[in-house]
Amino acid sequence: NLYANSIVALDAATGRLRWHRQLVHHDIWDYDLPAPPALVTIRRGGREIPAVVALTKSGLMFMFDRRNGEPLFPIEERPVPPSRVPGEQAYPTQPYPVKPAPLSRHTAITAADLTDVTPESRAFCARLFAQFGQSGGAYTPPDTVLSVWFPGTLGGATWSGASIDPASGYAFVNVNEIGAIGMIRRRRAGAAAPEWERWAPGGGYARFWDDKDLPCTQPPWGKLHA
């Protein structure tokens, strides 16, 4: 997993590695970098820094000096929950930039957060929520019980990435606010390898939404950040 979920800088003339930064360790959530990074010049302390801005589906924005990979804001390795799946070992920490703050919700969903957009949607989502053995925030590992975690596989930041206006210095990023649901279960006897599979009602990479694909959490279901 050395270069997975990473920004990798190569020398264009030789192809040699210049630097790399892994932004998600041992990705068991589908928290990949969904869009190409943005190249921008950042002005700090009276000097110009050629920078690269990268986003993740967990809604984090990382900024590096693209000459050497040094972060422009400190990055902390913060503890995250361990996996309880037999044979799995989740990475014990994940990188968080000190600035900016996460662009997406990173906290667990509770029954009080369920949608009230329509009575039908709320009833469906309440029945689904009652099936969960675990509700967690970002980097909560899939478990052997049906779980929901937030943000989900649709983000956070999405495939549109960031647009940066050099005149104003603003970065514009749209994010989704949709949870993911799933569990890790043993395959049926006689099934092809591997022994375990990711499963959820609606598919292995199901989202926390109702039977009409309306998110089960209260709006807003997406945000545009500047």
d(CA 182, CA 43): 43
Catalytic residue among 27, 30, 143, 213: 30
By the 8 A CB rule, do 138 and 127 touch? no
pLDDT in tens, the chain (226 residues): 899 999 999 999 999 999 999 999 999 999 999 999 999 999 888 999 999 999 999 999 999 999 999 999 999 999 999 999 998 999 999 999 999 999 999 999 999 999 999 999 999 999 999 999 999 999 999 999 999 999 999 989 999 999 999 888 899 999 999 999 999 998 877 777 778 888 998 888 899 999 999 999 999 999 999 9
Phi and psi at 180, nearest 5°, equal -115, 150
Phi and psi at 159, nearest 5°, equal -65, -10
Q: Which two tokens stand for residue 19?
A: 């630097």
The pairing of beta strand 134-136 with beta strand 147-149: parallel
Q: Which two tokens stand for residue 49?
A: 């820094």
> What is the sign, positive or negative, of the torsion defined by CA atoms of 181, 96, 81, 112?
negative
Of the candidates 197, 108, 207, the residue with the CA atom closest to the CA atom of residue 152: 207
Would you call 116 a catalytic residue per the annotation? no
- Residue 169's region, left for phi above 0, alpha for psi from -120 to 50, else beta, is left
Q: What is the chain's percent helix, strand, coil content, to nearest 5?
A: 5, 40, 55
For the entire predicted model, the pTM comes to 0.92
By the 8 A CB rule, do 57 and 157 touch? yes
